[in-house]
Structure formats: structure tokens, C-alpha cells
Amino acid sequence: DTAVSQTPKYLVTQMGNDKSIKCEQNLGHDTMYWYKQDSKKFLKIMFSYNNKELIINETVPNRFSPKSPDKAHLNLHINSLELGDSAVYFCASSQDSGVRYTFGSGTRLTVV
Amino acid sequence: AQTVTQSQPEMSVQEAETVTLSCTYDTSESDYYLFWYKQPPSRQMILVIRQEAYKQQNATENRFSVNFQKAAKSFSLKISDSQLGDAAMYFCAYRRINQFYFGTGTSLTVIP
């Protein structure tokens, strides 16, 4: 009965690889997000999709591309991974302009 | 620009005692929400308490309460009767429409 689930929970990969993180929510929310939490624990929004449309696209490298096949899924694809991409990535979803907001449990990405 | 500042990177409290975590924010908006999130070692972001800016009454959730000073743009979290399970990173967050802005977090240690 997980509300917002991310896979994988841990991801270790080499520099230059391409990887994807998947996110799914079963709450019926209409907006989904990706946040990045760096090594200093700072959380920053990357993207937001509302009903499959991109509504927030913060300044992130073009190597990061979100994909939303339907409003219950928002995947994050990262090309040509770099050491600085190592972080915890959180998916979240919300309804009613964010009054109800739920985070996933995070994906720890380590680039070696 | 909206920014959230948590000036205490680390705090500690004796079990059963009370601790207050500070948060200030900067905004030119009058309608917004403020939150405190808890992030234990499991990485899960857990909502602790929420405050609507239009409400003058301070929010309370069991042992957790806030001191919301809108004019001063201050939003501190008070944890009463601290328990070992309260040990975690605590993030203050400002939400306007559907985007969150997080502070840098306060790491709370509870001493048995």
C-alpha cells in the first residue's frame, strides 16, 4: 500500500553511464516532483509535472530528463553521469495545489 | 525570492526535555504554507506539522508545536517531552502554490 514508491532505493554506477530512476504514486495525485538532496542535506526541486505536463523545470543540466507516461508515474533519466550527480533523489506527489503532499523514500545515487 | 534559513545545523536535547528549532524565511507573498519535516536515517521525509500563513493560531500536533511570527517571518518548532525516536534531521519548508523551498536542516540528537 505504498503511496509514493521509487526504484531503485540504491544505485551505484560508473561515470559516463546512463541511468533511470522510476517513481510511481497510487494516491491519485495530479502533480509529481523530483527533488535532489546533496551531500550537505540541501533539498532542491528539479522538476514538476502536472497531469503529464512539465510545469517546473529548475536549472538542472540537460543530462537530466524527466518523463511522465501518465499522471501516476514520473521517471528521471540521467545521461552521462558525473561524480557531482551523487545525491539522494526524492520523488513526491501532491494534490490540490500541494495541500496534500507526499514524499517517496528516496533513491541514493552514487557515481564512482 | 523565497529562502528558508535554519541557523542551527545541530541541536541536542535530553530525553523528556523540550527543544526549540529555529527557522526564518523570506517572502513577499501573504498567502503561503510553512512546514516542518523530519528525516530519520531511513531517509523518508515525514511531515511533522503544517501552518497556514493566514491562520494566526499556532499549529499543534501532540508533542510538536510551532511559534509562527508572520511579521518577523519566523517559524520555530518546539518539541516537548523529547523521545529517542525524535532524533533526526528536521527541515523547515516554505510552500507557495505547489513548490517547496527547504532550509538546510537541523540535526537533532536526543540524549538518553
pLDDT tens profile B9-51: 999 999 999 999 999 999 988 888 999 999 888 778 888 999 9
More confident residue, B29 or B68: B68
According to the model, what pLDDT value does residue A30 have?
Answer: 87
- A32 CA to chain B: closest CA distance, Å? 10
Residue B92 has pLDDT above 60, yes or no: yes
A52 touches chain B (CB under 8 A): no
Cβ-contact A109, A82 below 8 angstroms: no
Average pLDDT over residues B54-64: 93
Residues 6+ apart with CB under 8 A from A33: A45, A46, A47, A48, A49, A56, A74, A91, A92, A93, A94
According to the model, what pLDDT value does residue A40 have?
Answer: 79
- Residue B43: which of A31, A48, A88 has the nearest Cβ? A88
- Average pLDDT of chain B is 91
Residue B2 has pLDDT above 60, yes or no: no
Record: contact A43-B95, CB cut-off 8 A:
no
Length of chain B: 112
Record: contact A41-B45, CB cut-off 8 A:
no
DSSP state of A34: E
More confident residue, A101 or B71: B71
Could you tell me the sign of the dihedral formed by the alpha carbons of B16, B55, B96, A98, in that order? Answer: positive
Tally of CA atoms within 13 A in the half-sphere of B29 that contains its CB: 15
Give the C-alpha separation, B67 to B48, whole Å: 14
DSSP state of A62: T
Chains A–B, number of C-beta pairs less than 8 Å apart? 49
Residue B98 has pLDDT above 70, yes or no: no
| All cell numbers assigned to B5 | 534559513
CA geometry: angle A28, A21, A70, nearest 5 deg: 35
pLDDT tens profile A22-68: 999 999 988 899 999 988 778 888 888 887 777 777 778 889 999 99
Residues of B in contact with A97 (CB under 8 A): 97-98
A101 touches chain B (CB under 8 A): yes
Give the C-alpha separation, B105 to B91, whole Å: 5
Record: contact A56-B99, CB cut-off 8 A:
yes
What's CA A73's distance to the chain center, in Å? 10
According to the model, what pLDDT value does residue A96 have?
Answer: 64
Residues of A in contact with B42 (CB under 8 A): 105
Record: contact A45-B100, CB cut-off 8 A:
yes
Residue A99 has pLDDT above 90, yes or no: no
